[in-house]
């Protein structure tokens, strides 16, 4: 726990908005007993049948250029133990044709669209997407984000090595003053498992745990509420952090 705190504070020197935000940051590490994951060491050998699989649920709305980057960042992963579920908010012929080119070329990719548009920040689509997931772990993301090629490998390796239920990494965030930080656009966002200190796209969680929690909220902060619900409902949850920047939020 101390190691996690020191690495989080010393590596990137996050700029908090105030003392209260710093205390929330420290408390999130202490209360959740956050494990510091060393994914650079020799990985523990696992039979292929024991390797977990990651379900990636991507919600989308008319971002025809950006979604190419997201999908290709997944196709470029060094670990192929994933499936990608793209869900568009409402019917869209252009997105359907775009997605079908990927679906035809890779059986791990599936495409869905809703009959009507929900227009609720993608939260209804996330709730539906969780029911479609077949993997052991779940990642929820948006169509304009993208990932380092080692994201799936490092996150699943950490989950296996330390027998974790929930794994997060650090990220680059495009917002000015995101969450509880005084950061400028595209600076490092140091993540801990607490609302306002995490993004929906920079953690994986066991699918069964996510499905039990459900995606109940429909407002702007529902991502953080989802994380808080997972932690609140699972007092014995094993959480870990990969101290690498593996995700870019746009």
Q: Tell me, what's the pLDDT at 9?
A: 63
Residue linked to tokens 């407002």:
219
- pLDDT value of residue 16: 77
Give the model's pLDDT for residue 11. 58
More confident residue, 11 or 218: 218
* CB contact at 8 A, 56 and 110: no
d(Cα 231, Cα 209) in Å, to the nearest integer? Answer: 10
Q: Are 172 and 12 in contact (CB under 8 A)?
A: no
R_g of the chain computed on alpha carbons: 17
In the DSSP assignment, the letter for residue 250 is -
pLDDT at 56: 98
At 17 the pLDDT is 73
The region of weakest confidence among 22-31, 75-84, 109-118, 184-193 is 22-31
Q: Quote the crossing angle between the two packed helices 93-105 and 66-75, to the nearest 10°.
A: 10
Q: Which residue has the higher pLDDT, 28 or 48?
A: 28
Cβ neighbourhood burial of 10 (10 Å; 0-12, 13-18, 19+): exposed
pLDDT tens for residues 167-225?
999 999 999 988 888 889 999 999 999 999 999 999 999 999 999 999 999 998 899 99
Mean pLDDT for the chain overall = 90
What are the two backbone dihedrals, phi and then psi, of residue 171, each rounded to the nearest 5 degrees? -150, 170
Compute the distance between CA of residue 105 and CA of residue 85 in angstroms, rounded to an integer. 14
* pTM beyond 0.85, yes or no: yes
Would you state the pLDDT for residue 3? 64
Q: What is the mean pLDDT of residues 225-246?
A: 94
Q: List domains and CATH numbers for the chain.
A: 7-38+48-249 (3.90.550.10)
Query: Tens digit of pLDDT for each residue in 107-153?
Result: 999 999 999 999 999 999 999 999 999 999 999 999 999 999 999 99
Question: What are the CA-CA distances from residue 98 to residues 57, 95, 106 (Å)?
Answer: 17, 5, 13
């Amino acid at each position: 726990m101390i190691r996690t705190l020191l690495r989080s504070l010393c590596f990137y020197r996050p700029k908090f908005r105030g003392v209260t935000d710093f205390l929330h940051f420290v408390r999130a590490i202490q209360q959740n007993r956050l494990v510091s994951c060393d994914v650079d060491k020799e990985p523990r050998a696992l039979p292929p049948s024991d390797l977990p699989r990651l379900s990636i649920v991507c919600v989308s709305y008319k971002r025809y250029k950006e979604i190419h980057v997201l999908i290709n960042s997944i196709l470029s992963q060094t670990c192929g133990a994933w499936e990608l579920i793209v869900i568009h908010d409402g019917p869209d012929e252009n997105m359907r044709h775009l997605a079908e080119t990927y679906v035809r070329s890779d059986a791990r990719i599936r495409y869905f669209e809703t009959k009507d548009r929900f227009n609720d920040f993608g939260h209804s689509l996330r709730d539906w997407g969780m029911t479609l997931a077949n993997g052991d772990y779940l990642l929820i993301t948006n169509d304009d984000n993208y990932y380092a090629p080692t994201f799936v490998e490092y996150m699943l390796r950490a989950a296996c090595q330390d027998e974790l239920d929930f794994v997060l990494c650090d990220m680059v965030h495009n917002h000015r003053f995101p969450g509880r930080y005084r950061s400028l656009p595209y600076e490092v966002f140091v993540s801990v498992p607490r609302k306002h200190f995490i993004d929906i796209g920079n953690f994986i969680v066991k699918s069964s745990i996510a499905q039990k929690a459900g995606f109940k909220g429909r407002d702007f902060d529902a991502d953080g509420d989802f994380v808080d619900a997972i932690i609140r409902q699972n007092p014995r949850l094993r959480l870990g952090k990969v101290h690498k920047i593996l995700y870019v939020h746009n």
